[in-house]
Structure 1
Amino acid sequence: MPLNTPFAVKPEELKEVLASTLGALAKSVELRLGELTVTVAAADYLAAAQLLRDAPGCQFEQLLDLCGLDYSEWGDGRWEGARFCVASHLLSVSLNQRVRLKVFAPDDELPVVDSLTGLWSSANWFEREAFDLYGIVFEGHADLRRILTDYGFIGHPFRKDFPVSGHVEMRYDPERQRVIYQPVTIEPREITPRIIREENYGGLH
């Protein structure tokens, strides 16, 4: 390794740098299991993200991942905050450090947060995926449309209240000679796994 290669600062030191840099823009800066998570309000999302990208001591040049989260059943329903969250994972190549940036959409019925595509172009497809799967709208995204499901898909399949079987199914109709959509014909059911215990299982009597 070249002598001039920068080493990552300790997580505790980076936490102080992030808290100092973001100031009131950060609702919290947490260090857990060796990972740093910064949570900001939706109104401060873009400003905080730009500081994380540009400020000395931060310099998170790359957005590695961005995903949606549905907290409606988190902690067996004990969660009392906003339902939809966006989590981004940022990397500083120059300083060899990482951080997770989280923001909660203030409206559960129509979750909207700003798009990060103006800061990191890699956010483009990630935000489209979060829109497709969770219904989170990214304001300022130039081409926000479904990316994994088809254009006729109804709902957002990663939401906790989305039925496992979906709402519609598609099949080929030989009379119409085309693919058609129809209501789901699978009856909802709950499958309980069967547990088989042999005699003296595991040497226990």
Structure 2
Amino acid sequence: MTPSLDRLQASLQHVLGDRLKKLTNRLGELTLEVSSADWLAVAKTLRDHSELRFEQLIDLCGVDYSQHGNGGYEGPRFAVVTHLLSVSLNQRLRVRVFAADDDFPRVASVTALWTSANWFEREAFDLYGILFEGHEDLRRILTDYGFIGHPMRKDFPVSGHVEMRYDAEQKRVVYQPVSIEPREITPRVIREDRYGGLN
């Protein structure tokens, strides 16, 4: 580990104490895991504490772990992963928060702490169905208003449920069941005996 990562790791352990569930150093990056119940308080500490000062939220996304490890994963299904940056201290941190309930995944919104979280949280809600409690305008951002389901969930059908098209006779957009027949496409691989001039 580099001295700056050592310092950050020690600061996180000292400042967060019992609220720190897990701290991993892998490939030169620290990943902090906290419970959903502690997430908002920990986020505020990460932003405001003098040893941490993570002023910027760079990214926030949802993750569906239901098929992680070829289906051998056992644990909470949905997580929110956030990347934070401290410009003043020149340090980065990844924070992972698992939603406590797989059927109704929800975590606290951090838009009051970092306004950049607004559209990221809307995207995670739209694509994964993760609810962000306290978000002032949680609505779909990438899919259509009448869209049903959350397309980045591992159990969402590849072709979707409904399709949309413009009907010239009705002069409006209509929704209908998907008419695409599912099929599996396996690419054909041709290997020549002397491919590339090799014997």
Instruction: Calculate the TM-score normalised by the size of structure 1.
Output: 0.93
Aligned to 2:183: 189
Identity of aligned residues (%): 67
Question: Secondary structure at 2:170's aligned position in 1?
Answer: coil
- Cα distance per residue 1:20-58 (max 9 Å; x no partner): 111111101111000011000011101111111111210
Runs of 4+ in 1 over 2 A off after TM superposition: 200-205
Displacement after TM superposition at 1:108 (Å) = 0.7
SS at match of 1:46: helix
Structure 1 residues without counterparts, runs of 5 or longer: 1-7
Q: Distance in 2 between matches of 1:54 and 1:157?
A: 36
**Alpha-carbon deviation of 1:200?**
2.8
Counterparts of 2:108 and 2:57, CA distance in 1: 15
1:156 has 2:126 as partner: no
Q: Which amino acid aligns with 1:125?
A: W
Q: Does structure 2 conserve the Cα–Cα contact (< 8 Å) formed by 1:15 and 1:30?
A: no
- What is the DSSP-based 3-state SS (H/G/I as helix, E as strand, rest coil) of the residue aligned with 2:166? strand
Q: Number of paired residues?
A: 198
Give the alignment partner of residue 102 of structure 1, picking from 88, 96, 99. Answer: 96
- Cα distance in 2 between the residues matched to 1:11 and 1:203: 49
Matched, 1:123 2:94: no
CA deviations 1:142-180 (Å, max 9, x no partner) are 000001111011111111111221111111112211110
Q: Which runs of 5 or more residues in structure 2 are unaligned?
A: none
- What does residue range 48-59 of structure 1 map to in structure 2 within 5 Å? 48-59=42-53
Q: CA RMSD in A?
A: 1.4
Separation in 2 of the partners of 1:112 and 1:122?
Answer: 19
